[in-house]
Structure 1
Amino acid sequence: MKHALLFAASLAALGLTACGKEPEPAASTPAATLDATDDAAALPAPATASEGQTFANTAAASDAFEIESSRLAASKASSAEVKRFAEEMIKAHTDSTAKLKSAAAQATPPITPDPKLTPMQQQTLTDLGGKSGAEFDKAYVAAQVNAHQMTLDALKAYSADGDVPSLKAFATELVPIVTAHLNMAKGM
């Protein structure tokens, strides 16, 4: 309630100033009755990422993880099937990144996806880097199932309730593609 009163008082003062009128003294606004201990609480909260920005960052990090983990698989996997899957993932997620950037650029204002990996994604890459042969193959496939399931969940949620039309269309377009990747990974 205090924040709403401060916000309303600030808007009123700005509106009167813009019209060339002097605002009423601060003592007449309800927000002025706050004591000094409320000053910190009255400060605006730091800006948080919009829903669209958060989704774009999640999708970008997912693509980055898929590409990096699949590059490891292309060189470390012992199974030809795993190596083929990895090559497909590199291509598919490179394409997905380009589509994401295009969809994000169409937002108003434009969004720049941040592909920074989550700590979990980074730890998974580190763990994969320490494995080889059949042990690597098993860990890579498990990581792919997990990553694709999490990505599919995020895409479905944004496709249903997203706030940026171009990103919502991107999410909707990718649902069947990521579903196919998940099923491929589960089948290995």
Structure 2
Amino acid sequence: MKSFVPVAAFAMIAAVPATAQVTSPGAFVAAAGASDLYEKTSSQLVLQSTRDPKVRSFAQMMVRDHNQSTAMVKAAAARAGVRSAPPKLMPAQAQMVADLRRASGADRDRAYVTQQRTAHDQALALHQGYAANGTAAPLKAAAAKIAPVVQHHIEMLSSM
């Protein structure tokens, strides 16, 4: 199979500036929840098939770290009095998961890494933006703690 970059990945890149401007606490919680859900879902999917030890290790870390960030945002939302629906993938994220499901072997691994770069750029913009401009102090603090973790993930992806 040929290597490919899913079209949905480009759609997520285009969404980064808009995501960075999220100011409503509810919108931040929804976007952070969707981001974590995508990271966990895509990582669990690739863990079912990858034979690459670097991809496997990274995907395991994604599940662990994004479970933690989900818990942090949920707790901060509760402290801020923000109610939110359970996380739901955005259409571009759902498309990327579908793209991963269709790929296999090394092509799936390559698509996963490409998607992770895109998703992490978006997540970093989201958390940095809310940490700087958010209106709910507990959520701003959570975003400020999560952003360096996302930055670390981006650094790891640069070597993959």
Residues 70 and 100 of structure 1, relative CA distance in 2, 3 Å threshold: same
Percentage identity across paired residues of the two chains: 38
Compute the displacement of 1:50 (Å): 7.2
Unaligned runs of 5+ in 1: 1-48
Matched, 1:59 2:32: yes
Matched, 1:83 2:56: yes
Compute the displacement of 1:51 (Å): 0.4
1:130 aligned residue = 102
Q: Is contact 2:25-2:82 (8 Å) kept?
A: no
Distance in 1 between residues matched to 2:145 and 2:75, nearest whole Å? 13
Instruction: Identify the match of residue 158 of structure 1 among 107, 126, 130.
Output: 130
Give the TM-score normalised by structure 2.
Answer: 0.83
1:104 aligned residue = 77
Unaligned runs of 5+ in 2: 1-21
Q: Is contact 2:134-2:140 (8 Å) kept?
A: yes
Instruction: Identify the match of residue 139 of structure 1 among 106, 111, 114.
Output: 111
Q: Is contact 2:25-2:136 (8 Å) kept?
A: yes
Q: How does 1:9-88 map to 2 (within 5 A)?
A: 51-88=24-61
Matched, 1:121 2:100: no
1:148 aligned residue = 120
Compute the displacement of 1:110 (Å): 3.0
Q: Is contact 1:63-1:97 (8 Å) kept?
A: yes
Compute the displacement of 1:137 (Å): 0.7
Q: Aligned-residue CA RMSD in angstroms?
A: 1.4
Compute the displacement of 1:185 (Å): 1.4
- For the pair shown, the structure with the greater C-alpha radius of gyration is 1
Compute the displacement of 1:187 (Å): 1.3
Q: Is contact 1:53-1:113 (8 Å) kept?
A: no
2:19 aligned residue = none
Count of residues in correspondence between the two structures: 139
